[in-house]
Chain A
Amino acid sequence: MPRRQDINKILILGSGPIRIGQAAEFDFSGSQACRALRDDGFEVVLVNSNPATIQNDPEMADRIYIEPLLPEVVKRIMEMEKPDALLAGMGGQTALNIASALANDGTLEDLNVELIGCNLVSINEAEDRDQFKKTCEEIDLPVCKAIACDSIEEVLDAAEKLGGFPLLIRPAFTLGGLGGGTAFDTGQLVEIASQGILHSAIGQVLIEESILGWQEHEYEVMRDGSDNAIIVCTMENIDPMGVHTGESVVVAPQQTLSDRDHQMLRNASLKLIRRLNIMGGCNVQFAFEQSTGEYRVIEVNPRVSRSSALASKATGYPIARMAALIAVGYSLDELPNPITGEGTTAAFEPTLDYCVVKIPRWPFDKFRTADRQIGTSMKSTGEVMAIGRCFEEALLKAWASLEYGKPHPRPLTMADSSDGEDISERATESIPTAILEDWLRIPTDRRMGAIIESFRRGYSIEDVRDLTGGITRWFLHGFEKIAAIETEIRAAGELGIDPSEIPNDELRSWKGLGFSDLHIADALAGFPVAGFKSLPTDKDENAIRNRRHQLRIHPKYRMVDSCAAEFAAVTPYYYSTYEGGSVDSGIDFVPGLDEKQKQRIVVIGSGPIRIGQGIEFDYGCVHAAGAIQDLGHEAIIINNNPETVSTDFDTSDRLYFDPLSLESVSEILLREKANGILLQFGGQTAINLALPLSNSLPHLSQLGLNLSIEGTTPESIDEASDRERFEEFALRNGLRMPEGATATNPDGVRMAANEIGYPVLIRPSYVLGGRGMEILANYKQLESYMRDAYIAPEKPLLIDKYLGNAIELDVDAVCDGDEVLIGAIMEHLEEAGIHSGDSTCFIPPQNIPEEIISQVEDWTRIIGLKLGIRGCFNIQFAIHDGLLYVLEVNPRGSRTFPFVAKATGIPLARIAARISLGEKLTDLEIPSPQQDAVCVKAPVFPFIKLRGLDPAPGPEMKSTGEVMGSHKRASAAYLKARLATELPVPTEGGVYVTVKDEDKLSMIPLTKKLRSLGFNIFATKGTASVLRDSGDLEVNTCYRIAEGNSPDALDLMRQGEIQLIINTPRSSGGAILDGNMMRRLAVELNIPFVTTVAGAKMEVEAITEARKGLPEPRRLDISSL
């Protein structure tokens, strides 16, 4: 079927802020869809609330709205824009829900907008569990067997029929699965089922067979309107059933199915997608029991998903692009195959000649108190992918990409069992067997390391299989092999073999299995307790690298071409492998590397999405690549995150999917004969490479590489990042800083804190996202902080005077050496002390006097020029008692770059990249900043997904993503941002107020306002009496939770009396626990809460604004550079 001619303008819905379970993959799919449709002549209107995405850049869409993703907002935009069609399949569940709401209430029909690319009937059929089961049964596909029971007798009968434990018990019609569970014997079954029958509104439970421990397989399917259907990719999870596929380590293609078993699942996938009449991309999940060959259909995702992003990157097949084109009428055979180019079509199945491993990236390194167990709901924030020519190589490369602080598996010690930083003194104690076996048994982020450790200790494959509840032996062999090679290297080290003497064959074979130079060095030294960073220079990573280079061992670069080299491909997408073989065929295909007179500039990506390093940095990398191309050079991207736009093969001239380690980056630089490298855009990942890379330059230049680190020099980066050096700099240049000190041992910390005076702000140096940062009110808290903290000369702690109630400002700017361009000054809503990534901020500033603004501008210029910044930088200021302080300078692109670009229309990332490459600000036609609206950025938090994490912002960053609202009026802009966070903004009901003493008086005007809006006020005794006595307000008193009397806040919340909580947390006393429990429940009941006075004020303004009705959507009127 040819392209539809009756559609011209298409509205595409994004997926909103980055959250756990819905991350950057939808920026990738949305961007592909935008590109594909615009290339084909369609006009694209894009709606997304997330300012950090590439998809809502002027390069991507014709008309852009950064607005809350709510049906009524989208409806209003459709009335304004009058699109012909709505494409909702690229924005995850968020977009589908909106589309479905607009279809059901008749809006789409009224506005004459056609929903394309997905069919609501099939979506409902796929997502309604019961309906889905029925559908599968109709077409003879096996689903989990289940029997509905009304009595215990029936339950026992059902257990017999289902043939053995474990069994799942699901009560019918209860909220949140209350009363359900897994039973491993009859006793448990009776117990859980009786509870279930009791809790069920209709006295019924469903007894279902358990498929725990079965293998999990996924099929990525594409189907067009002519019923052509193909399998793009198969994937096999290492973690057996029971762990969400997003939380599993996944391998592609599947490894352990025979062709017969594979075709059985392939046929089932195709049958299902045809029966459901899904067009575009979809994903089918199966459970497969290897010992019997039985399978069950688990579920279908009737749209592009995180799995399809992974499948796209694993195969090279652009699923989202094809799905978008299918939505506008094309069939697969009409679409050219973008990988092999001329002549071939998209109607084919990719075949791989490599192995892909994906590992989720969990936030437990930051959230030390969160429950680490992984299971059926997602907790990871992102993922990494690696490609190798064998499983072991891909696994170790993926491991090296995770950036958990351990780039390779090391023997587990008690330091690993602490919930946080290394505790050096415990690193000498090996981890006890009981703990090791727990880590094998209970799935957490630690399981992979535990598997390797168990093989180090001589466990058999069968032991580990049993302990892990059924991990497929084939994969365990891979882990065992890694442990065996590690032992081999250690043994060589014990024999006294020096890095310079490693025999050629051994080194080649170790490298071929994915061992990095660092891993080899560490193993050869017997994994010293002090860590791999303690290796002496003649035995470290560079020593191995020198030996390797002496033996001329370099990686080969293979193309991800979707056809196993059967056809000449044109995708400039590569991975490295150290596979052996005598022919040094090197890189597969580089279009005229030597002939072209172009400069080759490498951009370092930012790796997996994690707390503190999100999609904003990917945005920066994509723009950096664009800027390089603007200047007529070739842009090369290195990154390892499969969800992102930067790893789409048409974002750069060449893409390398590899770890962002010194070794793999250096080898790519050598292979590319790169002229320059940009480190400013990949967040801390890239900045951390600056010094090691600059130290390696002499070695690389001996090998013929003439590389310059573009932009700010590593020397200046160090001056900005090193606390002491920066203090000297500030002093020299007359910039005020909060009193502070650096300490490298516990006594130093104590002394510094006493000198500065409490409260102090304490944190480790050189980190992103405020890891381990806390405000300490007294020496007791200091001692407790130091029990967990790791302090060493190479890891000093910074102690600063905490500026209470200060206003914080963020500045993003670019400096070309002569001039400084200030992108924007942002005012934080929350006081300094709340991590800047977690605060709500305004452009332009709302409450800052003119003279302070001009001082901020002056200081920014001084810092840019005097520090020698070439490119971008970000400064955090605080205003305390009318005085300006510099808090920190980040000599790199910041998290707020995309927000600034979208608020002001100044494409800061692109400008910064061009400046880094030598252009001057005067050379560029920089648009003048937009001034017609106030823009607000608000954070989005993962509290609902992570138990054990206190749901209150603080100095450590906790948010996963952000949203933006813009409007002429600040309050309306704020309301939009608040709505975009997808927490309700109440317009009636009750407000619960409990604040610390110093905040009580400021609550009076706020509660008065709320009362006048008709809200009921609830408060605990202390707060209530202040409000009553000093404010003359009508307040309902309730008990504190700790008092154990009813009603307390929790009761009121459960009863639905409370729609908003204002709670400023006390940092000590019994109220801590109270506040924690209350916020936790608020998260679960989806009740908004504010934790600062400033936040409460804005919340009241937003409520006032909301009662006026929805603020009008605002189209972004920005252009590209």
Chain B
Amino acid sequence: MSESQPLPSFSPGDGIRGVSDAPAFFDAADILQNSKVSRHSAKSPGILLLADGTRYEGFLFGAEKISKGELVFTTGMCGYQESLTDPSFAGQVLTFTYPLIGNYGIIPGISESSKIHPRGVVCRHQISHPDNRESVGSIHEFLVAHGVPGIEGIDTRSLTRRVREYGTLLCVFGPIEKEIELQRILNELTPPDKDDLVSQVTCTEETLLNEGAKDIEGNNLPRIAVIDCGIKYNILRKLCNRFEVIWCPANSTFEEIMEKWNPSAFFASNGPGDPAHPGLAATARKTLSSAIMNDMPVMGICLGHQLMGLNAGLKTYKLRYGHRGSNQPVMDLESGRIHITSQNHGFAVEDPIKGMLSPHPSGLISNIDEIPIEVDFKVRYVNSNDGTVEGLDLIGRPVFTIQFHPESCPGPHDASPLFDRFQELVSNHLINKSPIIQGGR
């Protein structure tokens, strides 16, 4: 397909003071740089089947494959490329509620990982004539290059209402003539939450991204270990500006990391699936609990937040249809201020007082028999739409977690100062100041 191999273009350590030779990784759009993919030709009729028996007819695009997974929707009006490459969508079929997808094409350097993670894309119109100075291809070409199928011409609004009313559900789509086969696949489909999704998206080896990174005064930046449960590239970019970052697979244990790298702090990333899954999510959870018990600063985002919620003795549960989009209002209970945030999650941490808000009809709740670590915490952030927990502060410790995405991409940058908060926590901790998180709600 491609004439010559493109060069990997994601190098978060590149250009940082003191770094000479930063490693590079593939950005999902790199594959389009030197390639020619056949343009989207004749419309071939497709069908989307839902587990509740509903069927939607449309037209197929992208890779010629059958798609199956959990149907979710995102309400962001732009940022489709970032969403498609967000590893948290692993196992899911992604519906865009905005009806025109692909307007500005695919742009190198803005992907959130090296590949497309949803198992399929559902939209109203995919645009085959993108218009942007940096575009290297259309969404169709992007999907073909990554072997992911799409279906357009779907009444995505009624689909969204169905998901809103009945909760996320399993689905399958493919050529209309294969409807019987598709139905059989759907009948046999198991929820992707049961899979060890983290193991499918975590990195394979530990890498130091910006060795020798220095601050403005020439001092070495503190070193942190990032537990990758499906991390978005922009988190790595944000962290590399503030720390020397070791990018670690989710199966690394606390002891291994400490012994090999001796970081001063830990970071737990976003990722797909059920936080209470016994696979790599559990391994990561243990790593984080050890870090906390060793009085280390820890920040968690999204799945990372949920893992620490579990560590703190809270239950996690599946939300009815989750929060996916760029306009989720979150209130900081300390300042009373609202941040408009970027979100992508299907599970949540229960509220210690109000319990489990907006639960999924399946009633999926974490069931972990380990004894939680002894920590005191407070709910710091809540979603002002449905009241669900959006972030925890661990009282007396340099640890906080947030459900939303301060790295945005896509989405607003309102919450980006939270990386500064973490940086401050780490540096205060290193000069033996008392942790700045105080008690009280």
- Give A contacts to B, CB under 8 Å: 226-228, 230-231, 253-260, 262-263, 266-267, 290-293, 331-333, 340, 343-345, 347-355, 389-391, 472-474, 477, 556, 558, 563-568, 579-583, 585, 588
Contacts and interface: CB of A to CB of B under 8 A. Distances in A.
A900 B81 CA distance: 59
B103 interface: yes
B160 A257 contact: no
Given A263-B408, A263-B412, A588-B161, A333 B131 contact: no
B275 interface: no
Contact of A477 (B82, B99, B129, B340): B129
A256 B131 contact: yes
Interface of B: 54-58, 73, 75-79, 81-82, 97-100, 103-104, 107, 110, 124-125, 127, 129-134, 153-158, 160-161, 164, 325-329, 331, 336-338, 340, 384-387, 408-413
Given A292-B133, A391-B100, A260 B329 contact: no
Contacts of A565: 97, 157, 160-161, 164
Given A231-B412, A259-B411, 10 more contacts: A226-B336, A226-B337, A256-B103, A258-B134, A267-B413, A347-B329, A348-B384, A353-B160, A583-B55, A585-B161
Contacts of A332: 338
Contact of A256 (B81, B132, B336): B132
B348 to A, nearest CB: 16
A585 B158 contact: yes
A1118 to B, nearest CB: 42
Closest 6 interchain pairs by CB?
A581-B155, A259-B79, A564-B97, A259-B410, A474-B131, A349-B327
Contact of A345 (B56, B153, B384): B384
B77 A352 contact: yes
A257 B76 CA distance: 13
Contacts of B104: 256-258, 474
Given A348-B384, A351-B327, A260 B77 contact: no
Nearest to B128: A477
B131 A583 contact: no
Given A389-B124, A580-B153, A581-B155, A354 B338 contact: no
Given A256-B104, A290-B132, A565-B164, A333 B156 contact: no
A228 B76 CA distance: 20
A925 to B, nearest CB: 46
B129 A581 contact: no
7 contacts: A258-B79, A293-B133, A331-B336, A344-B384, A354-B99, A390-B100, A581-B58
Given A344-B384, A565-B161, A259 B409 contact: yes
Contacts of B329: 333, 345, 347-349
B131 A581 contact: no
Given A228-B338, A344-B384, A583-B158, A567 B164 contact: yes
A260 B106 CA distance: 12
Nearest to B104: A258
Contacts of B158: 581, 583, 585
A455 to B, nearest CB: 13
A355 B54 contact: no
B98 A259 contact: no
A351 B100 contact: no
A353 B157 contact: yes
A344 B134 CA distance: 39
A583 B54 contact: yes
Contacts of A391: 100
Which of B103, B134, B410 has most A Cβ within 10 Å? Answer: B103
B339 to A, nearest CB: 9
B384 A347 contact: yes
A333 B336 contact: yes
A332 B339 CA distance: 12
A568 B164 contact: yes
Chain B interface, DSSP helix/strand/loop, else mixed: loop
A390 B325 contact: no
Nearest to B414: A270
B97 to A, nearest CB: 4
A474 B138 CA distance: 13
A260 B411 CA distance: 9
A347 B338 contact: yes
Contacts of B76: 259, 351
A338 B127 CA distance: 34
Nearest to B337: A228
A1085 B79 CA distance: 52
A331 B79 CA distance: 29
B328 to A, nearest CB: 8
Contacts of A266: 412-413
B262 to A, nearest CB: 36
B56 A472 contact: no
Nearest to A585: B158
Given A227-B337, A258-B78, A258-B107, A583 B408 contact: no
A30 B344 CA distance: 39
A340 B57 CA distance: 30
Contacts of B77: 253, 351-352
A583 B326 contact: no
B413 A263 contact: yes
Nearest to A227: B337
B97 A583 contact: no
Contact of A348 (B385, B387, B411): B385
Nearest to B410: A259
B78 A564 contact: no
B54 A351 contact: no
> Which of B110, B133, B157 counts the most A-chain CB atoms under 10 A from its CB?
B157
Contact of A353 (B57, B99, B103): B99
**Taking each of B78, B127, B331, which has the highest tally of chain A beta carbons within 10 Å of its own beta carbon?**
B78
A1068 to B, nearest CB: 56
A536 to B, nearest CB: 34
A321 B72 CA distance: 34
Nearest to B324: A566
B409 A353 contact: no
B100 A566 contact: no
A583 B153 CA distance: 12
B148 to A, nearest CB: 20
A269 to B, nearest CB: 11
A563 B127 CA distance: 23
Nearest to B321: A566
Nearest to A290: B133
B155 A579 contact: yes
A957 to B, nearest CB: 41
Contacts of A292: 133
A566 B131 contact: no
B133 A291 contact: yes
A1071 B411 CA distance: 65
Contacts of A343: 385-387
Contacts of B160: 353, 564-566
Contacts of B124: 389-390, 579
Contacts of B413: 263, 266-267
Contacts of A263: 408, 411-413
A820 B57 CA distance: 59
A259 B107 CA distance: 11
Contacts of B110: 258-260
Contact of A262 (B56, B58, B78, B97): B78
Nearest to B107: A258
Nearest to A477: B129
A874 B97 CA distance: 49
Contact of B56 (A290, A348, A583): A583
B157 A558 contact: yes
Given A266-B412, A343-B386, A348 B153 contact: no
A588 B78 CA distance: 24
Max chain B C-beta neighbours (<10 A), residue from A226, A262, A474, A566:
A566
A569 to B, nearest CB: 11
A230 B384 CA distance: 14
Contacts of B161: 565, 585, 588
B100 A472 contact: no
A257 B385 contact: no
